[in-house]
Amino acid sequence: MPTPLDKAMNSKNAFLGFSAVVTAVAVWTIWGPGDIFPREADPSGDPEMWTREEMRRWLAARNLHPHSKDTRDQLLERIQSNLRIPRS
């Protein structure tokens, strides 16, 4: 004799409900208001005080493609050469 749980598992309504939830989550992800993985903010302040990872992130955000084997000094030199000169 089937139990109520057996009937629920074989029901089309349970499948349709689950499908609706999956579809709603997909639509929310595609057209939703925010990013799933928001970007970290650009580092601020003196570039000489930034960590190596912050330097790599700053260069990558500007499509300057830092190499994984670049030293901290090489990264700092590239950042300083690409910083915008402040207007007075």
Please state, in angstroms and rounded to a whole number, the distance separating the CA atoms of residues 71 and 31. Answer: 40
pLDDT in tens, 11-54: 788 788 899 999 999 988 888 776 766 778 888 889 999 999 99
Residue 39 lies in a domain: no
Model pTM? Answer: 0.55
Note whether residue 64 is domain-resident.
Answer: yes
Q: How many domains is the chain built from?
A: 1
Q: Which residues contact 83 (CB under 8 A, 6 or more apart)?
A: 47
In the predicted model, is pLDDT for residue 88 greater than 60? no
Within-domain flag for 68: yes
The answer to whether residue 11 is domain-embedded is no
What is the residue-averaged pLDDT of the chain? 85
Q: Is residue 2 part of a domain?
A: no
* The two structure tokens encoding residue 29: 């992800």
Q: Identify the pLDDT of residue 86.
A: 63
Domain that holds residue 62: 47-82
The answer to whether position 5 is within a domain reads no
